[in-house]
Structure formats: C-alpha cells, structure tokens
C-alpha cells in the first residue's frame, strides 16, 4: 500500500491528471479532499476508472480527483432552452 500524501504533494507529483485516491481525507465541510493514498493516475479519466478499479479492494473509501483546472469541453444545455 502506498503512502498518504497531502493534496499539494499529489498535485505536484501528478499535474493535470486524474488521480484515484484510497482512504481520502476530507476538509471540515466534506467538500474538498485534503489528503489520500494515490492508487493510480493518468491523463485519461476512463483509464483511471477501469484500470484503477482493481486497486481499490483494500480500501473503505475511494475518490477520483483532477489535479488541473477543469474546463468542460461540452456545452451544457437544459430542457428550458428547447421550449419555444
């Protein structure tokens, strides 16, 4: 099993990548990850989800984070835009 790292170290080690974390530590609001054990990382989110899946069995909790700036590539539209 890997070593628990804080979020700043994870971002330095895996810039602009998806990182699968085991036993994540959340902040007081339970919204932001502050630390965890990196299990798998890649630029490809699907690769992390599928290949990393086998690495999660020994952990009670897991989460997936992106260490870069998230810019959605798809335009999000709602049903209200189609009602005329």
What is the CB neighbour count within 10 angstroms for residue 20? 24
The tokens of 48 are what? Answer: 């992390």
CA–CA gap between residue 16 and residue 10 (Å, rounded) = 11
CA–CA gap between residue 80 and residue 54 (Å, rounded) = 41
pTM over 0.85? The answer is no
Kindly report the backbone phi and psi dihedral angles of residue 28, in degrees, each rounded to the nearest multiple of 5, phi listed first: -60, -30
Per-residue pLDDT of the chain (84 residues; tens, 9 = 90+): 689 999 999 999 999 999 999 999 999 998 899 999 999 999 999 999 888 878 898 899 999 999 998 776 666 555 555 444
């Amino acid at each position: 099993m890997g070593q628990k790292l804080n979020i700043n170290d994870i971002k330095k080690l895996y810039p602009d990548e998806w990182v699968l974390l085991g036993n994540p530590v959340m902040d007081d609001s339970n919204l932001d990850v502050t630390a965890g054990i990196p299990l798998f990382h890649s630029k490809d989110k699907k690769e992390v989800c599928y290949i990393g899946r086998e690495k999660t069995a020994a952990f009670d909790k897991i989460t997936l984070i992106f260490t870069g700036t998230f810019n959605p590539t798809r335009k999000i539209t709602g049903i209200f835009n189609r009602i005329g």
